[in-house]
Amino acid sequence: MNKRQPILDVDESTYERIMAVNLRGLYQLSQAIVPMMPASGGKIVNIGSINSEIGLAHVSVYGATKGAVKQLTKVMAVEWASRNIQVNCIIPGFMRTPLSAAVWADEKKRRWMSERIALQRPGEPEELLGMAIYLSSKASSYVTGQAIIIDGGVTAGGAGWA
């Protein structure tokens, strides 16, 4: 969840709500589910955000929670490796979702994002499925503690002056 506001405008209630949903919920759900996983191990796939890779104005609390999810993924992977639990994180880029609809509807923001995406289009949630399936399968049994970026090339760089 997110509420886009400048840092100086974020009140305590908004801060606490975003933290509770994006970080505390993931943390406590993981604490609850890991003891119930079979002795043979299991998989946890967290969902991060491009905001853990690049700073964006007006999403300070959201970005902080998603950066924490990325780091928490690493710690969980280390702590739970002895249980044969692999923990990884998918980092979506600029996706077209209900949460981002207002951003894509804003011409200035849409142009800014599109100029930074090498594939020149927003990602669709379905484009994360292949990675989620892989990370949830036996094929990824030696992959843990990773944050895998699926961003259409945003973090690869840009052709801004080409």
- Which residues have a catalytic role annotated? 62
Q: Return the beta strands (E) in 82-122 as ranges.
A: 85-92
**Which among 124, 99, 125 has a CA at the least distance from the CA of 1?**
99
The set of residues, in sequence order, having a beta carbon less than 8 Å from that of 99 and lying 6+ positions away, is 1, 2
Q: Measure Cα distances from 119 to 34, 48, 79, 116, 154 in Å.
A: 38, 21, 37, 9, 9
Helix 12-19 vs helix 60-80: crossing angle, to nearest 10: 30
